[in-house]
Amino acid sequence: MTDQNYNTFPRIRTIHGINYLCNSDLSTCIPLLYDYVASPCEEVIVVAKGGFQDDCKEYVGGKYGLIDLKGKEILPLVYDYIFNANQGTVMLNRGGQGQPNGGYLCKGGKWGFCDLKGRVITPCRYDNADFFDGDYARVCVNRQWGFIDRSGKEVIPTVYRDLWNFSEGLARFRNSKGLFGFIAKNGKEVIAGKYEDATDFLNKNACVCCNKKWGVIDTAGRLQTELKYDEIEQDKYDWMQVRIGNCYGYIDHQGHEKIPVKYHYLSHYIDDYAEAKIGDHYGLIDRQGIWKK
């Protein structure tokens, strides 16, 4: 059996209480003398010793490490929790505690990351963290969020009250005053924190709220619509539904009004028709706002 075949079809089999790492036809099986063995994920396997299985059949406690698809230990069993690999990295915890029977898998402690070779990218020093999304991962210190890159370098300092993943090159943040803005990957706040609320960028625009009224901005922060709507519903593939008071309409992704805000009920478009109602008149309108006969 070649390494390629072995790496392509790893399976975990439990025989008489012992876990084995096997190839697809079970011709080769390596005993894994661990209390817990996760399913293979992105060429690594999370393993643990010293914990127990709770009433929900979840493994709790113990010390965690990593093995590769040949059963070789590549990260020692010194961690208090390890998540399965995600996008080429693995989240590690030291000092946290698992809570049995439906509680947190791991609460407290500090978080860090390693790569798929078991090499530590950043030690466990963050109060909270999220999986990598592309080249960046959110990390938190003292309830303040920032970003690290895949080398472990802190590219956005941990100074934000809230921070969301990058979308179309910009990340939404909320500052210490509770106001929303957007930051670029170089750390520059390209849109200042001045909005009461905001959405991520989608199709090169984002919805923002000021004085309880919503509008649309582009990636340079320029308003594409007036801040006049009580509600805007973002849509990746179609026009965005807007509401003023009890009336609904549609705008496109450049902020142009396509369907006037005058309908008391307006559904999403299906096959170029939407259900609409004005007063007692109910029916279908096309994308020009013309009632279907």
- Residue range 155-208, pLDDT digits in tens: 999 999 999 999 999 999 999 999 999 999 999 999 999 999 999 999 999 999
Supply the pLDDT for residue 2.
38
Confidence of residue 3 (pLDDT cuts 50, 70, 90): very low
**Burial category of 2 from C-beta neighbours within 10 Å (exposed 0-12, middle 13-18, buried 19 and up):** exposed
With contact defined as beta carbons under 8 Å apart, do 93 and 82 qualify? yes
Q: What is the spatial distance between Cα 185 and Cα 165, in angstroms, rounded to a whole number?
A: 11
Structure tokens that stand for 226 in this block: 């007036």
Supply the pLDDT for residue 98.
83
Confidence of residue 7 (pLDDT cuts 50, 70, 90): very low
Mean local confidence (pLDDT), 275-279: 95
Supply the pLDDT for residue 54.
84
- pLDDT tens for each residue of 98-114: 887 767 778 899 999 99
Structure tokens that stand for 269 in this block: 């478009």
Supply the pLDDT for residue 237.
83
- pLDDT tens for each residue of 257-272: 999 999 999 999 998 9
| 238-240-246 Cα angle (round to 5) | 140
Mean pLDDT, the chain, as a whole number? Answer: 92
Contacts of residue 290, defined as CB under 8 A and 6 or more positions apart, other chains included, come to: none
For residue 84, the 8-state DSSP code is P
**Burial category of 3 from C-beta neighbours within 10 Å (exposed 0-12, middle 13-18, buried 19 and up):** exposed
With contact defined as beta carbons under 8 Å apart, do 64 and 48 qualify? yes
For residue 131, the 8-state DSSP code is -
The structure's pTM equals 0.86
Supply the pLDDT for residue 9.
53
Q: What is the spatial distance between Cα 263 and Cα 207, in angstroms, rounded to a whole number?
A: 21
Supply the pLDDT for residue 215.
97
Report the share of the chain in percent with pLDDT over 90: 77
| 227: pLDDT strictly greater than 70 | yes
Confidence of residue 53 (pLDDT cuts 50, 70, 90): confident
Report the share of the chain in percent with pLDDT over 70: 96
